[in-house]
Amino acid sequence: MSELKRFKNYMDGQWFDASTNETFEQRNPAKLSEVTGLFPFSSKDDTLKIIESAQKAFSDWKAISPAKRADYLRSVLVLMVQRKDEISKIITLENGKIISDSLSEVNSAINEMGFQINEGLRLFGETIPVSIEEVFAYTVKEPLGVVSVISPWNFPFNVPVRKITPALMAGNTCVFKPASLTPQTGYILAKLFDDAGIPAGVFNMLTGSGNEVGNIIVSDPRIKAVSFTGSTEVGMEILKKTAIYATRTQLELGGKNATVILEDTDIDSAIKDVIRAAFACSGQWCTSTSRVIVVKKVAQEFTEKLVEATNSIIVGNGFDKKAGMGPVCGASQVETIMKYIEIGKKEGAKLLAGGNRVTNNDFQDGCFIEPTIFGYVNQNMKIAQEEIFGPVLSIITVENLEEAIEVSNDIKYGLCSSIYTNNINHAMRFIEQTEVGLTHVNLMTSFKEPQLPFGGIKESGVGLPEAGKTGIEFFIKYKTVYMKYT
Ligand code: NAP
Ligand code: MG
């Protein structure tokens, strides 16, 4: 057996092991016996040092012009484009998603980065007339200081890029902790910054546990902003800690996203979208559709066709070009998802497709679950209310648009939603009343582009949305200047 590759933390422009020399393993979700690498299990000391390194680099990075910062980040972007395939392979290796989806993730990251670099060149202030003569008043946007970025395993590349780029363009320095299920994707991102020659300490990355490393980088008073994407549970705990020093906080959290199907739509094209939104990345996009709310009139036709399309999805290793859906990300995901499938059965929902692990031949050692559909789901069932974060879709039948809106909103989450209809009145009514951060008409719940804001409401999000113009706004503070010039 060849020796396992050992990866390092990136701090102050150098690569380091954990000071305790401890490591943790990452395993391929398609084949759990395969350890993909060993990663630093960073200690409290390592974490404090890394914050120190970012702190030391801050004043110089703040002082250089946004144009020069853009030059550095464009060099990172060039490498990202060159290494697209390599990065995609690491994402599939660690996360399991099919390779074409990993490539889409990298392409999204490239677009997000390009957009945010340019936004960083437009840190415009205002000049504002005041009531006394010969006083010039204006505003400037300034960086906050050291910011921390914590990312999940489902978009292990795109999510951190979307946060780190505006953070750095605004003149902040950054400490980044990737999810422990996808540490090599974090490493490969740090490698881009290092190879592009980013000044030491501006960007730092360390791996380790959420409870130790994550906890410190949200609690330390030197951290001036926290941008977190992950579960609602962890996010809400972070909010309590960042409250202590009034640290600016942005949380992108869980979802239970609904797609509404009305009778006046093209069922076949709606189904194509629902299949993608429900089962791409094995239903582990935060924007995945996990509830379909369909009006009675077309419920039977829609359900039959959806089940047929679902049964034709080929589950397989993400590197296999024939696979339409890869494994879920890790043993603990398998356990949670299978638990919810059992709950759904016990609650009286009708299993219409899937429902099992895939364990034959090549798959017995992996985290494969069939794409699963429950019909006759009641709004009060757990499977209709809780985030499963897996390839499990619930179909809820309703009488009409009013009931569809009511059911779609009757939930603690508010990330995204979608409606399929050709009736403009119905679409507008839905847009007005849907309680989410982003909504769609005749497009899947997951559709998004970098130039528009992205963020949830209710228990799906806190603080300014990422991306768009708010992406960089989160990472700056205003200074108001009054200057008497006589
Ligand atoms: P998670 O368990 O909340 O972990 C997210 C990140 O937080 C990981 O890096 C984790 O580190 C770290 N962490 C864990 N405990 C922490 C603590 N006490 N303090 C600070 N950091 C801590 O979420 P996940 O399981 O990775 O991701 C799935 C969740 O993310 C789902 O709920 C999904 O909906 C949500 N999500 C939301 C969006 C969005 O934009 N709204 C996007 C993607 C995902 P370790 O890995 O070391 O535990
Ligand atoms: Mg977790």
For residue 147, give the CATH number of its domain.
3.40.605.10
Same domain? 300 vs 203: no
Tell me the CA–centroid distance for residue 397 and ligand 2, in Å: 32
Within a domain: 430: yes
Is the Cβ atom of 438 under 6 angstroms away from ligand 1? no
Tell me the CA–centroid distance for residue 151 and ligand 1, in Å: 6
Ligand nearest to the CA of 234: 1
Residue with the nearest Cα to atom 43 of ligand 1? 286
Same domain? 369 vs 434: yes
Same domain? 14 vs 152: yes
Full-prediction pTM beyond 0.75? yes
Within a domain: 4: no
What span, in angstroms and rounded, lies between the C-alpha atoms of 335 and 344?
A: 14
pLDDT profile of the chain (486 residues), mean per 10: 88 98 98 98 98 98 98 98 98 98 98 98 97 97 98 98 98 98 98 98 98 98 98 98 98 98 97 98 98 98 98 98 98 98 98 96 94 97 98 98 98 98 98 98 98 98 97 98 96
Is the Cβ atom of 255 under 6 angstroms away from ligand 1? yes
Pocket test for ligand 1, best of 234, 253, 460 (most atoms within 8 A of CB): 234
The CATH number linked to 305 is 3.40.309.10
SS3 112: helix
Tell me the CA–centroid distance for residue 343 and ligand 1, in Å: 24
| 98, 276, 326 from 280: Cα distances, Å | 8, 5, 9
Same domain? 217 vs 261: no
Ligand nearest to the CA of 209: 1
Residue with the nearest Cα to atom 34 of ligand 1? 254
DSSP 69: H
Same domain? 196 vs 273: no
Tell me the CA–centroid distance for residue 316 and ligand 1, in Å: 25
Is the Cβ atom of 462 under 6 angstroms away from ligand 1? no
Closest C-alpha among 318, 327, 289, 329 to residue 306 = 289
Q: Write out the two tokens for 465.
A: 């949305």
Per the CB < 8 A criterion, the answer to whether 201 and 174 are in contact is no
What span, in angstroms and rounded, lies between the C-alpha atoms of 93 and 87?
A: 10
Ligand nearest to the CA of 242: 1
What span, in angstroms and rounded, lies between the C-alpha atoms of 291 and 415?
A: 13
Q: How many CB atoms lie within 10 A of CB 1?
A: 4
Question: Is 212 among the catalytic positions?
Answer: no
Burial of 314 (0-12, 13-18, 19+ CB in 10 A): exposed
Same domain? 262 vs 385: yes
Same domain? 289 vs 215: no
| Cα 40 → chain centroid | 23
Ligand nearest to the CA of 448: 1
Per the CB < 8 A criterion, the answer to whether 214 and 150 are in contact is yes
Q: How many CB atoms lie within 10 A of CB 377?
A: 23
Q: Which of 105, 119, 252, 459 is catalytic?
A: 252
Chain length of the chain: 486
Tell me the CA–centroid distance for residue 234 and ligand 1, in Å: 7
Is the Cβ atom of 150 under 6 angstroms away from ligand 1? yes
Within a domain: 2: no
Question: How many separate domains does the chain show?
Answer: 2
Same domain? 146 vs 246: yes
Is the Cβ atom of 115 under 6 angstroms away from ligand 1? no
Same domain? 229 vs 130: yes
Pocket test for ligand 1, best of 91, 180, 231 (most atoms within 8 A of CB): 231
Same domain? 278 vs 402: yes
Same domain? 25 vs 140: yes
| 11, 203, 277 from 194: Cα distances, Å | 10, 9, 35
Within a domain: 35: yes
Where does residue 14 fall: left (phi above 0), alpha (psi -120 to 50 degrees), or beta otherwise? Answer: beta
Pocket test for ligand 1, best of 105, 154, 460 (most atoms within 8 A of CB): 154
Provide the pLDDT for residue 85: 98
SS3 193: helix
Same domain? 427 vs 471: no
Within a domain: 455: no
Pocket test for ligand 1, best of 286, 288, 459 (most atoms within 8 A of CB): 286
Closest C-alpha among 280, 234, 291 to residue 415 = 291
DSSP 152: -
Is the Cβ atom of 238 under 6 angstroms away from ligand 1? yes
| 205, 280, 366, 429 from 5: Cα distances, Å | 18, 30, 21, 55
Within a domain: 1: no
Within a domain: 454: no
What span, in angstroms and rounded, lies between the C-alpha atoms of 164 and 70?
A: 13
Provide the pLDDT for residue 361: 83
Pairing of strands 416-420, 9-11: unpaired
The domain containing residue 434 runs over which residues? 257-449
Within a domain: 190: yes
Question: Is 237 among the catalytic positions?
Answer: no
